[in-house]
Structure 1
Amino acid sequence: MCPPFALPLLLVYQGIFGTMTGLSYLIAPALGGVIMQYLGAATLWRACLVIGLLIACAYPVLGKVQQPLKQRQALKQRVAGPAIGEAWGDD
């Protein structure tokens, strides 16, 4: 169950995720087609490699950023945990 204070953040996250997914379905094929037509297939694949490597390098960085957020969330749950658990019926 989702605690009541996290529900608005969850809805915002779902909205952003849905919007970005829709935009990627629209933009990626058009951009890939333009790159392939004017710059060639090799350039398209090199660009995919560079973007993939950048994203792979970003995962450890994002993990380090996310760790303090998880610690703060755990602290909030320790402070308000029993009240939230009882309110949602979690035993």
Structure 2
Amino acid sequence: MFTWFVGNHPVGHYIYNIRNPARMTQSDSSPTPANHQTPLAGDKTFFMKARIAKGQADPKSNEMRVEDFKWLSKEEIQREVSPRYWASVKNMLVEQ
């Protein structure tokens, strides 16, 4: 599949905050003792506007081992995700 990005900056982002960051930790790469742990606070997903020029996605011949995917319209996405997530991302999606 041949795609290209429209612009060089995200159209938006979504921030996921972990409810109890004390339970989840990640090793810190700073020069501190080896057993030092830093609590994770969440994650950010950036959305980029892109266009498909030609071709189709083929999950059988991918390097990232994707097993399934869905091509969804904006209305279909709303039915697949949580209401909180939908409220955050709906204005970044086009109507077509």
Q: TM-score higher than 0.5 here?
A: no
- Answer with 1 or 2: which has the greater Rg: 1
TM bin, normalised by shorter chain, reads: under 0.3
TM-score (norm 2): 0.22
Larger helix proportion of the pair = 1
Larger strand proportion of the pair = 2
